[in-house]
Structure 1
Amino acid sequence: MAVKTNCNINGIDYYRLRVTIGKDRKGKDVIKNFYGTSKTDAENQKDGWMKNKLLGINHISIRDSLSMAMFNWVWDVLKVSGIKVTSFERYEGIYRNYVEESSLGFMILEDIQRVNVQRCYNKLHEQGKSYSQIKNLHKVINMFFKYAVIEGYLLRNPCTGIKLDVYKKEEDVGEIDLFIEDEGTVETFTDEEIPVLLEGIKNKKLKIMVKFALGTGLRQGEILALKKTDIKNMVVQVTKTLSFAKLYDDADNYSYETIVTRPKTKKSIRKVPIPTELKKDLAELNKIRIEEKLKLGELYQDNDLLFPSETGTYIDSRNLLRSWKRAFEGIDVPYKKFHALRHTFATQLIKNGAQLITVSRLLGHASIKTTEIYAHVTESTKADDVQSLNSLFK
């Protein structure tokens, strides 16, 4: 008698058992899938998982689906490994968005071969996912399989030999890595847009912050984390960053909090000279802080911040975003993200003759390859500038 199955994944028949294992934070049922070669096998998978759950044990089994095994790895290994909170948030997000409910995630761990992983990436590429997104997914999956091999769960890593360069496009310049420097699309402000933007900003503190970003190239989180003591002799010492991150108790319970952590990479810890023209702006910023402190009196929470909120605390990134968007209302400058100020800093330096290695160090890039994307932008600008000479020959 043929084995009864009820689903087919990548050409292989499985029996899938769907079980409600609890409620999520919104009160909705949490469904977990168990896969086996038969109904009995799937039920055994479920019974073993439930037993271990009651005992507080979350071992990885080669008969687990990749989704189940990676779930245990994310929460029982990664979360307690000492990685940054923001890094864990990225890992967990990649797992949840690309593995948990994917066709690859449904496969039994010991059945996964290199072709299955490559096929997963091919499908994502066809769906329009970028090289950077696929590369970062591969990093997380590869980390998991390396762990599974080291711990003896598997004999080989199916990620070995995976080809990623096939997903690159001609416009993919440099290697922009989510875990190192997620620059995204390179938006910059033109020479004509900058004065219009600055003139349109009515909030004095925000205007000084924008000037500071244009003059130093610091990331938003690095600026918001600065203390007054981080600036000496018009040089800013970058040693930390402010993040708005998920803090997890477990998979179903988390909260968003503002935290200060070390920068993304060792090279992000750096010293950056401040243009001397900003000296008067920093003096004005000091007056603003004093006025805010006097206004609130004992209610003011002095944290010695360079750019504090009106109450002396860290500026909430969501409030900054709202103020930033308001700055574009009624001015003839297209909206761009705050990060465009950092891009503008880099492209202006290169356009004015700065060496690529110098720009890379000022930006705190882990690799000069990331900085090369700005050279690509300036080359495009040069081409456009030359084409403007066509009018001379008409």
Structure 2
Amino acid sequence: MKGHIRERKAKKGRRFEVVVDIGRDPYTGKRKQKTKSGFTSKRDAESFLRKWLVELDENRYVEPSKETFASYMEHWFTSHYQKRVKESTISNRKYAMDKHLIRENPFANKELSKITTEMIDALYNDKLDEGYSTNTIRKIHQLLNQAFKQAVKWKKIAHNPVIDADPPSVKTKDTVIWSFDEIHRFLEHCKEERHYITFLLAIYTGMRRGEILGLKWSDIDFKKKIIRVERTLIHIPEKGYQLSSPKTFKSRRQVPITDYILNELITHKEQQEEWKDRLGGTYQDNNLVICTEQGTFQDPRNLLRVMKRLCEMANVTSICIHEIRHTHASILIREGVDIVKVANRLGHSKPKTTLDTYAHLIPNDQDQVADIFHNALMQKKQPDVSIM
């Protein structure tokens, strides 16, 4: 590539302009040039020209985009992002983008190429001051990073300003779990409830709420005593509840269950048959284990209301269904079950996730470590070999 510098006359003295030839337009055949003006000294212009030529030769030069941040985000989200994530994720992320990055964002209408790391950090601080959780701000950060990363790939900007941004660390709340006594009291008070089997499955399997509500009878192997987690119940705005694939690859798993749970499931199935007989042709048989008396999807919000009422009746700590999952995991860990086995049962993508969440519950046997090492070494001690 060739380039040169030309002098321009200005009211305040001489000005220099850098001009670079970048080939010819493949359609018109006309020569294409890039220019940069406003240099007050020829030396500065020459220095910029050398840098510019290197960037062009190495295909690193990016023509700064005039597109506004808000316009780019809308385009990126609809043409790229939403085609690569699950439908349930789209609605959550779209809400976060519209609210935090477009409607309530001071740099929403600035040019994409002029967004700086300082502006992004200021946005995070504003959200903190407004009372949003650190977890919400981290999700905003992840969305921004993905969007700017793609802008670099599309050569709309030269650098991703989110890389150097400093989002707040996520502050985790103390995990609230039930004692053994509370578990027994709660189950005793909900035995006559239609949702007894729902809470029983949550306590005995540690499955996610959506996984339990999406469970079908075909997912239960009564001979092998396992539940196959194949789907989950999700809510899509304007579409309602529907079944979807599990949260992650590891979420698709097999959960062993006991004879006690199998017998309770059989009893529940007999009750469902009574619903079918009573309603006849109006019953919607979707083969669901947990459903309404009409056979339709169970609304999770109703489940929440039932659980709150039962917690008050049983006089136990008021927790949500996800905290029943924490209770299940905590009991397994305190009983000495290997962390990898617990992770597999819960459907965590990595054992590290389980360890990070429940590390404080793992029994501290540090006092025994020295003895364990010493005993192992002594057992492997080689007999003395005399020298001839």
Q: Report the TM-score when normalising by structure 1.
A: 0.70
Q: What does the per-residue CA deviation read over 1:81-134, in whole Å, with 9 as the maximum and x for residues that have no partner?
A: 152111111211221232112124343311112222223224434555444333
The answer to whether the aligner puts 1:168 opposite 2:169 as a matched pair is yes
Match of residue 232, structure 2, among 226, 234, 241 = 241
Q: Which amino acid aligns with 1:240?
A: R
Q: 2:20 is matched with which residue? A: none
Q: Which amino acid aligns with 2:303?
A: L
Q: Indicate conservation of the 8 Å contact 1:235/1:272, yes or no.
A: yes
Report the CA distance between 1:273 and its aligned residue: 0.5
Q: Indicate conservation of the 8 Å contact 1:202/1:327, yes or no.
A: no
SS at match of 1:236: strand
Larger deviation: 341-350 or 198-207?
198-207
Q: Name the % identity.
A: 29
Structure 1 CA distance for aligned equivalents of residues 68 and 108 of structure 2: 6
The answer to whether the aligner puts 1:145 opposite 2:148 as a matched pair is yes
Report the CA distance between 1:242 and its aligned residue: 0.4
SS at match of 2:85: coil
Match of residue 117, structure 2, among 100, 107, 114 = 114
Structure 2 CA distance for aligned equivalents of residues 367 and 129 of structure 1: 28
Q: 1:74 is matched with which residue? A: 77
Structure 1 CA distance for aligned equivalents of residues 327 and 180 of structure 2: 9
Q: Which amino acid aligns with 1:140?
A: L
Paired residues for 1:11-160 under 5 Å: 62-79=65-82, 81-100=83-102, 101-160=104-163
Report the CA distance between 1:71 and its aligned residue: 2.3
Structure 1 CA distance for aligned equivalents of residues 316 and 364 of structure 2: 18
The answer to whether the aligner puts 1:347 opposite 2:330 as a matched pair is yes
Match of residue 378, structure 1, among 353, 361, 364 = 361
Structure 2 CA distance for aligned equivalents of residues 75 and 123 of structure 1: 27
Match of residue 341, structure 2, among 358, 363, 378 = 358
Structure 2 CA distance for aligned equivalents of residues 189 and 236 of structure 1: 24
The answer to whether the aligner puts 1:196 opposite 2:185 as a matched pair is yes
Provide closer, same or farther for how the CA distance between residues 193 and 373 of structure 1 changes in structure 2, counting only shifts above 3 A: farther
Report the CA distance between 1:305 and its aligned residue: 1.3
Q: Report the TM-score when normalising by structure 2.
A: 0.71
Q: What does the per-residue CA deviation read over 1:205-227, in whole Å, with 9 as the maximum and x for residues that have no partner?
A: 31111111111111010011111
The answer to whether the aligner puts 1:315 opposite 2:318 as a matched pair is no
Q: Which amino acid aligns with 2:96?
A: I
Structure 2 CA distance for aligned equivalents of residues 66 and 379 of structure 1: 47
Match of residue 187, structure 1, among 170, 176, 185 = 176
Q: Which runs of 5+ in 1 are unaligned?
A: 1-60, 173-183, 247-254, 383-394
Provide closer, same or farther for how the CA distance between residues 137 and 185 of structure 1 changes in structure 2, counting only shifts above 3 A: farther
Q: Indicate conservation of the 8 Å contact 2:190/2:196, yes or no.
A: yes
The answer to whether the aligner puts 1:276 opposite 2:277 as a matched pair is no
Q: Indicate conservation of the 8 Å contact 1:188/1:340, yes or no.
A: yes
SS at match of 1:192: helix
Structure 2 CA distance for aligned equivalents of residues 104 and 265 of structure 1: 34
Highest Rg: 1 or 2? 2
Q: Indicate conservation of the 8 Å contact 1:220/1:339, yes or no.
A: yes
Q: Which runs of 5+ in 2 are unaligned?
A: 1-63, 366-388
Structure 1 CA distance for aligned equivalents of residues 364 and 239 of structure 2: 40
Q: Which amino acid aligns with 1:245?
A: I
Q: Which amino acid aligns with 1:235?
A: I
SS at match of 2:80: helix
SS at match of 1:62: coil
Larger deviation: 292-301 or 147-156?
147-156
Q: 2:282 is matched with which residue? A: 299
Q: Indicate conservation of the 8 Å contact 1:223/1:241, yes or no.
A: yes
Q: Which amino acid aligns with 2:232?
A: T
SS at match of 2:254: strand
Q: Indicate conservation of the 8 Å contact 1:244/1:317, yes or no.
A: no
Structure 1 CA distance for aligned equivalents of residues 270 and 92 of structure 2: 39
Report the CA distance between 1:202 and its aligned residue: 5.1
Q: Indicate conservation of the 8 Å contact 1:346/1:374, yes or no.
A: no
RMSD: 2.4
Structure 2 CA distance for aligned equivalents of residues 159 and 268 of structure 1: 31
Provide closer, same or farther for how the CA distance between residues 149 and 243 of structure 1 changes in structure 2, counting only shifts above 3 A: same
Report the CA distance between 1:141 and its aligned residue: 0.6
Q: Indicate conservation of the 8 Å contact 1:236/1:271, yes or no.
A: yes
Q: Indicate conservation of the 8 Å contact 1:117/1:159, yes or no.
A: yes
SS at match of 2:240: strand
Q: Indicate conservation of the 8 Å contact 1:343/1:374, yes or no.
A: no
SS at match of 1:260: strand
Q: Indicate conservation of the 8 Å contact 1:305/1:312, yes or no.
A: yes
